[in-house]
Amino acid sequence: MQKKFKLKNLILLLSLLIFTACGNGGGTTPENPDKPDPTDPVNEEKITIPDDLSTIATPLVKGGSFSDGVSFIYKGDNKIQGDVEDGAIDDDIVSIIRGKVLDNDGNPIKGVRITINNHKKYGFTYTRADGEFDIAVNGNNYYDVSYKKTGFITVQRKAKPKSNNFKVLNKIIMIPFSQKVTKIDLAKVSDLTIAKGDVVEDEDGKREAVLMFQPQTKVKAVLSDGSEVELNNISVRALEMLSI
């Protein structure tokens, strides 16, 4: 179910029925947003992200190459990009993807884990106190940038950076998981069962996302190995997502 609203001169698509279903397994769920995410590497390289990047940035040298000015991001003792594989980044075609992450109120979010999907060789970095990040890749390729932080819905954005240049992405607003949870035992659903999300109110009015389950509804989880597991007990969060 989708509805379009005009908000601040932008057309926003509201996907009203996005939900999370949590079954019998362990691991991180929106019900335990403070639990470490098991998909993040436990033994990742330790890096320190300064609040002010200028404190470790390499001074620009007239006539120097692009890589001379940005290699501090992925090389050296003070690098801010961890677990970069040897030889993964070619100094001759390096590019820096730059972005910023905010919350619903426009405040920067620190500590968002930034990775490049399907390119483990580029490692990871985190957003700084101002919500900004820089991650080095080889230019002239298409990438999916992943933004991940416990307690928030994971975000992905596409990027095609040019070699020896910066690619600045649009600001991202990360949405926290709703604390309003409807627990449903699918085996006991004998009538129409409703799960409601948080009430949202703005200049477009008051509304809430609603998800309806009919009797004999089946829910399956697809595991990382491709196998499927049927879930009998689920916890549902209905969220409103804004996408420009």
- pLDDT for 139 equals 98
Is residue 61 in a domain? yes
Q: What is the DSSP string of 140-202?
A: SS-EEEEEE-TTB--EEEEE-PPTTEEEEPPPEEPPBPPS--EEEEGGG--S-EEEEEEEEEE
The token pair at 147 is 């933004």
For residue 15, name the pLDDT band (cuts at 50, 70, 90).
very low
Neighbours of 199 (CB within 10 A): 11
| Domain co-membership, 146 together with 59 | yes
Question: Pick from 173, 188, 206: which residue ends a domain?
Answer: 173
| Domain co-membership, 16 together with 113 | no
Is residue 46 in a domain? no
Strands, E assignment, 68-164:
94-102, 113-116, 124-126, 132-138, 143-148, 155-159
- pLDDT for 162 equals 97
For residue 13, name the pLDDT band (cuts at 50, 70, 90).
very low
| Domain co-membership, 20 together with 70 | no
Comparison of pLDDT for 167 and 21, the residue scoring more: 167
For the chain, the farthest-separated pair of C-alpha atoms sits apart, in whole angstroms, at 74
| Domain co-membership, 161 together with 182 | no
pTM score above 0.85: no
Each residue's pLDDT tens digit, 101-142? 999 889 999 999 999 999 999 999 999 999 999 999 999 999
Distances (CA, A) of 82 to 56, 73, 152, 204: 15, 9, 22, 43
The CATH number for 133's domain is 2.60.40.10
The token pair at 208 is 């809430």
CA distance 2 to 7: 15
Is residue 41 in a domain? no
The token pair at 20 is 């999370």
| Domain co-membership, 124 together with 195 | no
Is residue 198 in a domain? yes
Is residue 63 in a domain? yes
| Domain co-membership, 139 together with 120 | yes
CA distance 67 to 45: 22
pLDDT-above-70 percentage for the chain: 81
Give the helix ranges, DSSP H, for the chain. 66-70
| Domain co-membership, 60 together with 129 | yes
- pLDDT for 124 equals 97
Is residue 43 in a domain? no
Task: State the residue for tokens 């470790």.
Answer: 56
Determine contact, residues 137/91, Cβ cutoff 8 Å: no
Range of the domain at 101: 53-173
| Domain co-membership, 169 together with 120 | yes
Question: Pick from 125, 158, 173: which residue ends a domain?
Answer: 173
| Domain co-membership, 158 together with 59 | yes
Is residue 40 in a domain? no
CA distance 146 to 122: 12
| Domain co-membership, 166 together with 194 | no
Is residue 47 in a domain? no
| Domain co-membership, 232 together with 124 | no
7-11, 108-112, 186-190, 219-223: range with lowest mean pLDDT: 7-11
Residue 19 has pLDDT above 50, yes or no: no
Question: Pick from 173, 205, 224: which residue ends a domain?
Answer: 173
Name the β-bridge partners of 7.
Answer: 10
- The count of domains in the chain is 2
The token pair at 93 is 């075609």
